Amino acid sequence: MAISLFRTGRKLKTSPSAPLLEHGTLPWLLAVALATAGPHVSHLPPWLSLLAGLLLVWRALIWQRNGRLPPRWLLAGLVIAGSAGIAFQFRTLFGREAGVAMLVFFMALKPMEMKAQRDAFVVIMLGFFLLVTHYLYSQSIATGVWLLGTATLLTATLIRLSGGAQPVRAIVKYAGLLVAQSLPLMLVLFLLFPRVSGPLWGLPLDAHAGLTGLSDSMSPGSLSNLIQSGAIAFRAQFSGQPPEQSRLYWRGPAFSLYDGKTWRPDPPPAPNPRSATQPIIEARATPISYSITLEPHNQRWLLALDLPVALPENSTLAPTFEALAREPVRSRARFAFRSSPDHVANRSEDSAMLRQALRLPPGLNPRTRTLAAEWKQALASPEQISAAALRFFREEQFFYTLRPPLLGQHAVDEFLFATRRGFCEHYASAYVVLMRAAGVPARVVVGYQGGEINPVDGYLTVRQSDAHAWAEIWVENKGWLRVDPTAAVAPSRVERGIGASLGADEPLPALVRLDAGWLQTLRHRWEAADNAWNQWVLGYNPQRQRELLSRLGLANADWAKMIAALAALGGVCLLLVAFWTLYQAPGTPAEVRAWQRFCRRLERFGIRRAAWEGPFDFAARVVREHPDLGPLTNEAAQAFADLRYGAGRPEQLKQLEACSRRIKSIPASRRERA
């Protein structure tokens, strides 16, 4: 028999001790489910988002039509089917992606069985927990504002659930007041709670699966795909004047191993005892001091300005000159460097390293090898061979584009002599193959080139669209020399950025092509605010906490001192909030004070009102037990009831106060009998 989705007439069965869920609270609970689970739609499989949305719409229609909830066997089937679908989608029920999917699914399914208030409390608690999961994907200002508003909605729903029907505006105002009262304590906890490096709980391996950035290999198309993203890779702040755009080469990994299509880093060669085992960088000018705030990219390289001469703590300089952190960068972090763009790097190089920088896969690209052999025979030095290659790129009809044609087995031959259309990885790769074929040690380096100064806060912003590839050759007594073949084809790429070097039909992000002045100003202000949030909120690490505590006179504070300070300031905040709450509490109404005064004067005659007695019950008892005081008590009780519970008139307050005064006129003989 078919199941009706909106059956009516069935009485809900609940435990005698479990109050039924009030009809008017369901829209609040559905709003909670939508607000806490809705932003996760961009991370969920489309089928799961559709299923969750249908469940919430179904529950809203049942509420609107006073229909019956679906049977338990149907809900059980949905649980099994949804869980199986999530397990099939993610190949597990654990980890960030699968775990969040399960929470969203249960948040959408729980309202389908809500009957009692305790079910509603489960939805609210699940909503608070689901809020935390949003920070696994984004920690931006917008996310923080959204979560603060959603926390206010959850608090308002609790008020509505516990306090019954009230005006929506009053509920939201009260919830906002409660959240505002928590802010001072939240600030104290944020500033003084002992910070730890990394998250407070271990994250699953897939928690960093969505991070973008440079890869540990390079093949045609890898950088051009990355450049289509306008996401920020890192920000840099210089202690003085920043270098000019053409000198801003931010070094990532260097690749020496080539299989004809893909470049990869070679394992470090075994050190030669007769050569230096550590990179030797000779600065030929005053080094530049700066710091970078690096976005998480799940790799070890720190993207220092080429080349670093002073590194941050817990980092090393690889034999190929990239700065490496001890662990992959999985959260936003700040690093201080000193670099010298004018330098000599490794005048003497390890012989095994040089052999690696000459290797080419056999049998590939014969035309390229022939051209390089001609240069080697005709030219006397590596610098002359390099100049011949750059002149070849500059004088022949090469084109700089993000949409190059596909290349076959002899990729470099096809690029140099047929298609001649490519991006920076094509030019860097072809140049290094030419140099190696001519007997010049060379390798590919990837990183970022350029950046944009934000006039609001003075930070240099480097985006994924600034990703770049260049080359290095080694010359005896001169060390490794940077060569950028792209500059020979599209010099505007190095001098003015990626947006100035590509046509309007190229798939660049909108941020790169933004030319409206007011839009640029708006973007600069937003990014400056976001940077301040990153620096002072998300970047509040143990080091910055120690700096703050030192200013507060708690230098070298250990956990015990920090907990003591936290307890003291937390107590002060709670006291201030308590005093403020008491000060803001409305005073006792005048009619209540007048009624209480009347009752206290009756106590002189042994007539005490019980706490449970209303005004009319009390007056009736006085009439029975003390007939001479009955009329006066009836008059006072009627005036108080009208003022407190009805549409009382101002003169009735005066009447109630007069009743208190009239008690004094009772004959002395009555007072003596009392």
**Pairing relation of β-strands 343-345 and 281-283?**
antiparallel
Residue pair 276/518 in contact (Cβ under 8 Å)? The answer is no
To 10 degrees, what angle do helices 590-602 and 630-645 make? 160
The set of residues, in sequence order, having a beta carbon less than 8 Å from that of 185 and lying 6+ positions away, is 570, 573, 574, 577
Of 468, 599, 642, 659, catalytic = 468
40 is annotated as an active-site residue? no
Of 266, 350, 484, 642, catalytic = 484
Q: How far is residue 573's CA from residue 647's CA, in Å, rounded to a whole number? A: 42
Of 297, 350, 413, 424, catalytic = 424
Q: How far is residue 221's CA from residue 372's CA, in Å, rounded to a whole number? A: 25
Residue written as token pair 């001072």: 184
659 is annotated as an active-site residue? no
Q: How far is residue 192's CA from residue 187's CA, in Å, rounded to a whole number? A: 9
Residue 170 phi/psi, 5-degree rounding, is -65, -40
Could you tell me the CA-to-CA distances from 539 to 191, 295, 333, 464, 669 in Å, in that order?
A: 12, 11, 7, 21, 81
**DSSP H helical ranges for 209-330:** 222-227
Could you tell me the CA-to-CA distances from 204 to 92, 97, 333 in Å, in that order?
A: 12, 9, 20
Residue pair 171/160 in contact (Cβ under 8 Å)? The answer is yes
Amino acid (1-letter code) at residue 368: T
424 is annotated as an active-site residue? yes
Closest listed residue to residue 656, CA positions, set 642, 646, 667? 642
Q: In what order do the strands lie in the sheet with 333-339?
A: 308-310, 333-339, 288-294, 232-238, 460-463, 452-453
3-state secondary structure 357-408: CCCCCCCCCHHHHHHHHHHHHHCCCHHHHHHHHHHHHHHCCCEECCCCCCCC
Q: What are the catalytic residues? A: 424, 468, 484
